[in-house]
Each structure stands twice: as C-alpha cells, then as structure tokens.
Structure 1
Amino acid sequence: MLSPPAARAQQNYPIGPGDVLSVTFLSNSQFNRKVVVGNDGTIFLPFAGELTVAGRTINQLRKDIPVLMTGSVFRERVNGEELLVSISPEEVSVTLAEYRPIFVDGAVNSPGQQPFVVGMNVRQAIAAAKGIKNQFFSADGPDIRVREHPQVLMAELVGVMAEMAVQRALLEGAEDIDPTEIEELNAPPILITSAIELARSQVATTNALLEEELAFLERSVKEAETRVMAALRHEEVMSGIVLSEREEVDQMENLVARGVRPSTLLIQARRLYLQAAERYSGVQADRLSAEDSWRELVLKQNQALREGALQYQQRIQELAQQASQLRVQIDLSTAGLAELDREGEVLGAPRITVFRKLGDQALQIEVTPGTSLLPGDVVHVRFAE
C-alpha cells in the first residue's frame, strides 16, 4: 500500500525527465512546441530559453511559463505590413502531452518498457507484460499450475471485483466505490479490506487527475469565448469606421463634382476608405479564427467526456467476463485441488516491488496488484525463494 507521501505525489504529479510538455500559442501556432524534459530536468522554449521544470507540477508550470513569456515581442506580417506583436499570458497554454514510461521486469513473460496511462495500476502493468511467468510448469512434468488453486483464484477475483468497482465509480462520477460485491466474496477479511482501501485510493487519485484536466479544458473554453466576444466588439467598431469612411468618400465626390473641393482630397478620402476596409477584413479573419478555436475546444471537451464514459463501459464489460470465468474456475478447482509445486507445498503469491524516484528521494515499496503507479516507476516481480 502506498505511503501518504506517495499518495499525495499521485495527486500532485511532479514533472520529471522523459515527460513531454506541449506549449501552445493560441494565436500564433508557428511557435507551438512539444518538448521532452531532459535528464538534467530542463527544457528549452522560445521567448523563455532554458527552464528547469523537474520536480514542479503541471499547474505550477501553467502559471509560471506564460508569465515568463509575457512582454516578449516578435515580428508578424499583416496585410503586407510588418508589425511588432507582444505576447500576453492568456495566449500561452501549457499541457502535459505524454508521461514518461514505466518498466516491468522480473518474473513476467514480456519484461520491458510500457507507456504510462493515467489511473494505471500494478495489475494492468503486469497484464501488459503478458502476465506472471509460471516457473513451476513444463511440458514434460506434471500439470502444475499455481493459478488453479482456489485461494489464488479468489485473490484474483477480489482484485477484478475491486477494479470493476473503481470503473463503475468513475463512470458514474462518484467520489467513492460501492464495496458491496467485494464484501460478499468468500475471501480472507484482510484481503477484502486491502482491496477496498486500494480501490478507494485509486478512485480519489484518478478523479483528482480527471478533474484537473477537465477544469483546464473548461478554463480554455471560457478564455476562447472571451476572445470571440472581444473580436466581435472589434469588428463592430471597425464596421462603423468603414461606414464613416464610405460616407466621407460619397460626400467628397459630391463636393469635387461641384468644384468646391480639389480632386486630391477625394483621392485621399478613397485611400483612407480602402485602408479601413482592409483592416476590417483582417478583423473579420481574426473573429473567424477565434470562433474556430472556440468550437474546437468545445468539441475536445465533449469528446473527452464521451471517450471516458465509453472506456469505462468497455472495461466494466471485460472485467465482468473475467469475474464470471474466475467464479467457474473456483467452483471447478474446489472439487479436486491441483498440486502447487513439485513438493506438494502451497506456493506463495509473487512479491511485487515498485522502485520509484520522487525528487532526490529513491523509494522501494512493497505493493499489491491494485496499487496505483506513477510515471517512471519500475515494477519488479519475483517469487520467494
């Protein structure tokens, strides 16, 4: 089970080497960057230079990086004119694009590197490594399978039911799991209690991460709405200026025709009108771009909610099928127990250790299959000697 400091670390994830940050300039996409945090914990960004980000949270970087870039000036060509444009904080968006991978080694069938997914636990990492290696079974020996023992199968069923409770809570947007189905299992009380505690910890951790990402999307949508409204007001002002310049041209044409004003004034009035019309076209383009950005963010927000619900539903169906299969295996195995090792001894469950680095601190944690993982974790599986 994770210690309190490690549990807090999950909720306030520190950036580390190997993580990928995405920096987006909402009105100047040519400056967008995806940068990998180097071994020294630094990144390099336009207008900010080299920054040390290791050990800091994404929320801290979202506040600090835009401020560092504020006031930076770049040249931009608009309607044939070269303008100096200053960067404002609300134009800069910072997100965590990719987490650094985890690693699984030891008594697994396919050790190696795996991509980290938010909410990932030890059981899922071992499953991605094609399960725990069965070192007591060979083609020329007796049919010896550790997993056929009812106690081992029941422990696996407890884990599956706990994960199902987690997925249901996330699907329903609940802050806690419903432990009823776990408590009804005929398993040792300590196993049930541990599974429920870990499931509740996972729900709290995953909800915190999801709420942070959804809150960021919500803020982005509101900022985009503000930019659209500002663009509409600017367009309205420019429309009035164009109309005024057009009226000035009409009036000047009348005066020139009557010989009251020289034709040079008419030429000047027409030039001012064309300039205003050109600026108005640029303002319209800015407004359309702001509306496109707003629609894209709203679509991304809605898509995130839909995809999350579909993933939870699909995982619940998979877990329900696994639970049904385990129940059948338990019923069959209790009718005639298979040997567990070549001496007829009950083989202990594998020991799982997570090696984790938090800042300058290296942790070695004995865990269970339901323990949540952090990016960069190394999961080591071994059997007791």
Structure 2
Amino acid sequence: MEARPIAELRAVTKRYGVVTAARGLNLSIRPGEFLSFLGPSGCGKTTALRMLAGFEQATEGEVLIDGRVVNGVPPYLRPVNMVFQQYALFPHMNVAQNVGYGLNQRRPRPSRAEVAAEVERALQMVRLAGFSDRRVWEMSGGQQQRVALARAIVNRPKILLLDEPMAALDKKLRHEMQIELKSLQRELGITFVLVTHDQEEALSMSDRVCIMDHGQIAQIGTPEDLYDRPQSRYVADFVGRSNFIPAWVMGMVGDHIRAEGPEGLSFTARTGAPLTIGTEILLSLRPEDIQLALAGAPDGHPMRITHRIFLGEHTEYHLSSSAIDHLVTVVPRGADAVLRNLTVGTEVAVCWREGAPLALTRD
C-alpha cells in the first residue's frame, strides 16, 4: 500500500488581481522524497513553494500537509521550514544564536542546555561543528548556506522548502553543495522541495522534477523520464538540449514510427503516443545521439560546420545543410583527435541510430 502523501496541491490556483500566477496545480509529494520545481522566471514555481510554506494563500483549491488542509494556516503553525535564496540570517547574532533562534521561540521554551545540544547536533550535520561562536558575516557564502540549513533542520520539520538556495554560489561550490545537500536529505529522511531554474541542479539532486510553464505543471517525472521521454517540445527544450526537425509520419516499424523529414530525409523514431499517418510532428534529437564522421561516410547526411566551441570535456559543433538548417552535436574529449579538431567550414557527415529521435506532436 502506497504511503499517504506528505503534501498535496489539489486544483490550486493563485491570482494576484488579474494576474494568474498558478493555475489548477495538482501534485502529490511523497514522504522522504527530494522533489524540485523547475522552470524559467515567472513560471509559477516560487508561488507553488510559498503556498506550501504559508507565505501565500491559494485563491482556489486546497493545500494539504500531512493529510490536513492548511489553507489559511500561518507559516509558523505548519510543520515546514524554508531556506531562502538570500539565507535571511541575522547579522547581529553568531552562528549558534542564528541556528537556535527557532527553538527559542517555542512555548514552552526549551532549556539552554537542550537548545545548545540541538544546535550542536544540527551544526555537525552540516559539517560546521566548532563554528558556534563565529559571526555570520565572517563566513563564506557556502558556510552561510550551511548555517541557514542548520537553522531550518534544527526544528525537525516534516518538509524542508528551499527557494533557489545556491543561486549566489559559484559553479564549483554549487556543485559541491548539491552533493552535500542530497547526502543530508538522505541522512535526515526529511522531504525536500526545491525551487530552481537550473536544470543541472534539479536533475542531479531530485527523485522527481516538476516542470512548470506559465503557472501550470507541464510534466512530472524522474530526471531520466523527463530527459528520455519528454511529452512536449517545451520539456525537451528545457531539460537538457535538443535539436528539433520537422517531419511527417509515414508508417509504423514495430514499436517505432517511420517519418520523413525535409528533402526526403528518412527517420525511425520513438513515440510516446499513437500517431496517424500524415501527422505533422517534431523530431527531438539529443546532441549526444548524433555521430559525427568525415565527409563521405556511408549512410551519413552531408552537413557543414558553422561553429566550433571548445568546452574542455567535449567540443560542440553547430552544423547546417540544405535539409536541416541547424543541428548541434558534441564530440567527447576522448574521441578521435581528427573529429575533435575539425574547423569551421569543413564538410562532414552525421548519422544517428534508429530510434534515437523522439517524435513529438507540434505544439
């Protein structure tokens, strides 16, 4: 029997005057999972998070936490804690005072010894043991983020809400903190709900990702599902990178479709929904699924290199032909040196395995 959701949004809509920030959200969040809201600015992801936190109230629908409707319940009476993008630490307090602030607001108030013990336990969890007396303004951005996390987990919430907490960190530190945050979540067993616009952040840490688009949920799934089986161009384009080629359904080949693209190019593609012959579709083709070869390779489509971008672990090539206006592929650092060092203007050939393209209906 599946466990009861720790939180739910049931047909939730949020309006600010004539502006609808979230529309008809239906979502069940599982106990102990790491779920991310992912999308561009203004898509409604932060609004959804703030309605779970209680900082915003739903205009329509119900918000439930641990089986209880919490519409109208203020944040401090909900079993949740939130880590804000700017951390919201008190500069006049040291680390221990910041972390213990929420404990000292409880009634009846715990003893000083109890607060000190809980604060030390939380600091050990975020690897800041021995920092109790440090002033927060003396700490790095990564350390401040850990203080904010310690302050949030010290109250042992049922749900920890994170509003883009790593946005201010540099890329290397952000990657390190992603690993630490996921490890902490596993150790605590608390449900984490993250808001981010960074797809790498969402994919690397989440059990499930909720893709938002114009206030609505575009698709929910595991990172692998969203990457391998996006249900729309929007999701395919937002999660990872993809090339899009217009085509038409010509027939079926087992579980795949046979499609015809520009200038008679033939494709065998995967599909997530039944498609009829003659349907106009878009083929989504990931850059890493495209093999680059020297001009004249058998079964290759001739193209010309328009841009070459060296990115360290791989080289990115932008290609063009009369049939396909723009195509991006990547060549790993460990590939043949000839393929890694092709120059702009060089004629090449590209191919892809059968079933690599994914057929999407045109939006």
Greater share of residues in helix: 1
> TM-score, length-normalised on structure 1?
0.20
> TM-score, length-normalised on structure 2?
0.21
Which is greater in Rg?
A: 1
